[in-house]
Structures are given as structure tokens and as C-alpha cells.
Amino acid sequence: MVQTTTKNGIIVAKTGNEIMAEAMRQIAPDVVAAYPITPATEIVQIFSQFVADGLVPTEFVAVESEHSAMSACIGSSAAGARTMTGTSSQGLALMHEMLYIAAGLRLPIVVALVNRALSSPINIHGDHSDTMGSRDAGWIQIYSENSQEAYDNLIQAIRIAEKAKIPAMVTTDGFIISHCMEVVEKIPDEDVKKFIGEYKPERPLLDYKKPFSVGAIDLQDYYFEHRYQLIDAMEKAKPIVLEVAEDFKKEFNREYGFYEKYKMDDADIAIVVIGSAAGTAKVAVDDIRKKGVKAGLIKLRVFRPFPHKELAQELSNLKAVAVLDRCDSNSGAPAPLYLEVTSALYTHCKSECPKVINYVYGLGGRDIDLHHIAYVYDMLGKIKTGTQIKKVVNYVNLR
């Protein structure tokens, strides 16, 4: 029987896009400026219908490109408005220039983002190349395993971004989650409103009694200090992420953190993975454990800020770890998540580090199933008992 976690919870069947649009309606931002792109189109399409039907008082700005969408968001956020948008893939790529500006101006814009492969070749399906390409843009990045997490993460992101004064993107895997209808527990409108609270910007541009400049030139004299403030803010966003998660758990009884640990207590081998594949991997872990293998899983939720100390601590006592990346850095070196995880281990491991292997999977929406994940755990079992890692970067389900 489908159960709610709180007495006011509302059980619905929604796709990832539908529930993100629903979260946006409940958040009721002052401004949404957006341009459609598959597979994120529905989010702003459904939301714009809410606006048209008078269900949400948001000013909806239909713009002519994603570059303009992010530019309009920057203007609106700087003016002091709670501001959101939605995009994906090439759309995020087109926003790229403006992403850094949003972060540098410390504007808490929140983006509902659907992960999709980047061209070329043209592909509309899910992988993490788009947001991984923006990983150093100064944005908080929160990834979701399923529709429930997408909904909960988007609501939490508002508070995180506004407190940290850093923009945030909350993602789902394109089609796999964005177009998959699942059971989701919704929070009543008034409870969402209460949880996110009223937005009180510190320095809104429209406060004409306290005029100031935004976006001024900043050369050798102060640029470094201002960028350092952003670096420092990202570090300080870590406790904020946890605080908001703690409050969320208190109110709605669903638990979040930097990552989710699945059967890690006695694990000696583990997979680290982001997004929807973690759900499939949980089933694989259950299956493998029936054979007596001490397999565990860490699903990373927050990629920026990266919880390097915490993650290293979780992994340091393991014998072997596989990091699964749904993108490649095309760099002649391993993929982004592997680089972060191994760097964390090298930095924080007190004694011997676990052996770490990298698997790139799912580019352009290529399926990853239980057999593929079972194979990775099988390899970890071999590495644990002494098999040498010959190739660091390996590919799952690549023909």
C-alpha cells in the first residue's frame, strides 16, 4: 500500500517534469524567464499554463533564447525578485556565459534542469554532460534520483540558494525521470510556502533609497577578493545544505544530505553514482548481497559544493570503489566524478586508500541495467582480492 511520510502528504502519480512544474507553482517565484528545450520543455510549459490560468502570480517572461533567459533572470534577481527558470543541454550551454555572471553577482536564481547529452551528434536523451560542463561556474548542483527527490530538492534549493547567496540548479535525468510517471508525495501548498519563507534580498537593485552598481569592472585591485568571496560562499554553503535538509526532515520526514548511503555499514566494496542509475543500483546491491557479497552504494546528491572530506571518510575503509560517471570529460583523463572522488581520497585518506576504478556509462541515454551494475560489482570483488586495475577508465554497455 502506498504510504505518505507525513499526515498532510498528498500521493500523486506525476512525471519528473510535471512534479518540478508543480513545485514551481508552490514556490510561486516572482519571475520565471524561460525558453523551451527538450526534455525540459514541459516544466516551463506546464508552469506557463499555471500562470495563464491564474494559479500562480508569477511574472512569466517568454524570451528568445536561453542566453536571454538567464540574462533576464539575472536582471530580475538583481532587482530583488525570487527568480527561477528551467532548461537542459544545449540550453544550459547557451546560458554558460551568464551562469558565471549570476554566480559572481551572488544571485540566488534556481534552475529546474533536465540532464541531457550535448551535441554533436544530436541526441535528446539523458546524460550529465551538460551540468558537468558547468561544474565550475559557481552554482550549487543538486542531482535527483527520481521525481520525489526532484520535487523535494527544488523546494530545498530555494532556501539553500537564498541563504548561501549562490544560484542553484536541481537536476533530473532526461526522459528517464523527466518523462517517467512515478508515485510522488506532494506537500500542501501552505507548507511549502512556510518552509521556503518570504524572500528578503539583502541588496535589491530596486531599493532606490540605497542605490548601488551591479556588474561593474573589477581589475587587479579587487577582482581576486570578490571571486574569493564566491569561493568562500561555496564552502559555507555546505552547512546550509545540511541545515535545510535537517529542517526538511523535521517538517516532511524525508531524509537528505550530501549523499545517500545504501547498505554501507558493513560494505567492503561500493559504487559511487549520481542520478537515476542509483535506483537501479540499489536493486543490484540487494541481489548481490543475497550471494553474501558486502556491496554498498553511495548516491551523490550534492556535487557542488563537493563534500570531499565527508565522502573520503565514507570510502576510506573500503577495499575497492567504482565511480560511475554519466559523462566523460574528453580530457585524456578519467571522468569528472572519478576525479573528484579520487582527489578527495588522496587528500584525506590517513592510511591506505581503496582501489578506485572509473566506469563511464549511459551517454546519450544508453541504458544501464542490473546486469551491467552486477558486472561492476563483480569486478570490484576481483579487485578486492588482488586483481590489478589495468585500465582506469572503462565503459559500460559500449558496443
Partner 1 sequence: MANDRMIEIRWHGRGGQGAKTAALLFAEAVLSTGKYVQAFPEYGPERMGAPVQSFNRISEQPITLHCAITEPSFVVVLDPTLMDSVPVVEGLRKDGKVIVNTQFSAKEIAAKLKVSSDKVFVVNASKIAMDTIGLNIPNTPMLGALVKVIGDLDIEGVLKDTRHKLEQKFRHKPQVIDGNLESIKRAYNEVQSEQAVAAKNA
Grid cell locating 171: 537536476
Q: Does 11 bind partner 1 (CB under 8 A)?
A: yes
Report CA-CA distances (Å) from 138 to 32, 368, 387.
21, 30, 39
CB 2 to partner 1: min, Å = 6
| C-alpha grid cell, residue 183 | 508515485
Backbone angles phi, psi at 154, to 5 degrees: -65, -40
Report in angstroms how near the CB of residue 358 gets to partner 1 at its nearest. Answer: 21
Distance CA 124, CA 265 (A): 38
Residue from 205, 267, 277, 312 in contact with partner 1 (CB under 8 A): 277
Residue choice 283, 343, 346, 392 for contact with partner 1 (CB under 8 A): 283
Order across the sheet with 110-115: list the strands: 59-62, 31-34, 83-88, 110-115, 168-173, 140-143, 302-304
Cβ contact 27:52 at 8 Å: no
Stretch of residues binding partner 1 (CB under 8 A), selected from 58-66, 69-77, 175-183, 301-309: 175-183
User: What is the nearest approach in angstroms of partner 1 to the Cβ of residue 149?
Assistant: 11
Question: Closest Cα to residue 99, out of 135, 129, 126, 64?
Answer: 135
Count of positions (residues) in the chain: 399
181: contact with partner 1 by CB under 8 A: yes
Instruction: Choose the stretch contacting partner 1; rule: CB under 8 A; options: 6-14, 75-83, 225-233, 350-358.
Output: 6-14
Instruction: Select 175 or 199, whichever has its Cβ closest to partner 1.
Output: 175
Candidate list 52, 183, 214, 333; residue touching partner 1; CB under 8 A: 183
**CB closer to partner 1, 27 vs 113:** 113
The closest alpha carbon to 254, from 306, 301, 297, 311, belongs to 301
SS3 label, residue 237: helix
Cβ distance to partner 1 smaller for residue 72 or 113: 113
Mask: binding to partner 1, 214-253, rule CB under 8 A, as x and -?
A: ----------------------------------------
Only one of the segments 43-51, 128-136, 202-210, 281-289 lies at the binding site for partner 1 (rule: CB under 8 A); that segment is: 281-289
- Contact with partner 1 (CB under 8 A): which of 127, 130, 145, 314? 145
Fill in the amino acid letter for 135.
R
Indicate whether 296 belongs to the interface with partner 1 (CB under 8 A).
no
d(CA 154, CA 318): 33
Does residue 122 touch partner 1 according to CB under 8 A? no
Residue 300 binding partner 1, by CB under 8 A? no
Q: Does 335 bind partner 1 (CB under 8 A)?
A: no
| Binding of partner 1 by 279 (CB under 8 A) | yes
Q: What angle (nearest 5°) sits at the alpha carbon of residue 263, between those of residues 257 and 264? A: 70
Judged by CB under 8 A, the chain residues 69 through 108 that form the site for partner 1 are none
* Separation of first and last alpha carbons in the chain: 41
Handedness of CA 154, 159, 161, 164 (dihedral sign): negative
Under rule CB under 8 A, residue 276 binds partner 1: yes
Contact in structure between 328 and 127 (CB atoms under 8 Å): no
Question: Grid coordinates in use for 332?
Answer: 585524456
Binding window for partner 1 (CB under 8 A); candidates: 7-15, 303-311, 323-331, 351-359: 7-15
261 binds partner 1, rule: CB under 8 A: no
The grid coordinates listed for 121 are 551528434
If binding is defined by CB under 8 A, does position 289 make contact with partner 1? no
Q: How many CB atoms lie within 10 A of CB 80?
A: 17
Identify the residue among 176, 300, 315, 335 touching partner 1 (CB under 8 A): 176
Binding site for partner 1 (CB under 8 A): 1-2, 11-13, 124-125, 145-146, 173, 175-177, 179-183, 276-277, 279-280, 282-283, 287, 367-370
